[in-house]
Amino acid sequence: MIYRELPGLEAALLVESWGYRPIWHSEVVHARWFTDDPQTAIVWFELAQKPGDLVLHGCAVPKLGRRALTREALDAIRCVARSLGGQRLFAPVPSWPAADSRVLLRYLRLHGFAPSDSPLGLCLDLGG
């Protein structure tokens, strides 16, 4: 799986059309947006305050939902994060219903994300 970069506005409009929360202007301008297929899922990375820290966001078309977050997709996300200079990748805790949040959080923990003291969410050490 190979991710390619997308223009922020194009990507933000897509994820909003899929029912994701409204995207902040600062995300459109400052985040880096990627996809392997813009008709299925998009991920974006925001710089955190500490150098080497990135915050990961993602959205998939409603028919795929969390099924878009495959092991292969996570490996590609790690590669992109490293290429952006990431040393730690944070995944914010979603504000979904508790049962849905638990499923995603358990999945992320199984794939190396761990609780952190940061308000940014779960953390994956990318090495470096």
pLDDT for res 100:
67
pTM higher than 0.85, yes or no?
yes
Counted domains in the chain = 1
Q: What is the pLDDT of residue 114?
A: 92
Q: Is the dihedral of CA 72, 16, 48, 118 positive or negative?
A: negative
Burial classification of residue 124, based on how many CB atoms lie within 10 Å of its CB (0-12 exposed, 13-18 middle, 19 or more buried): buried
List the CATH number of the domain containing 89: 3.40.630.30
The mean pLDDT values, 10 residues at a time, for the chain of 128 residues are 93 94 94 93 94 93 80 92 96 72 81 89 88
- The CA-atom distances, in angstroms, between 7 and each of 1, 2, 10, 56, 90 are 19, 17, 6, 17, 22
- Domain that residue 111 falls in: 4-125
The answer to whether the beta carbons of residues 56 and 90 sit under 8 Å apart is: yes
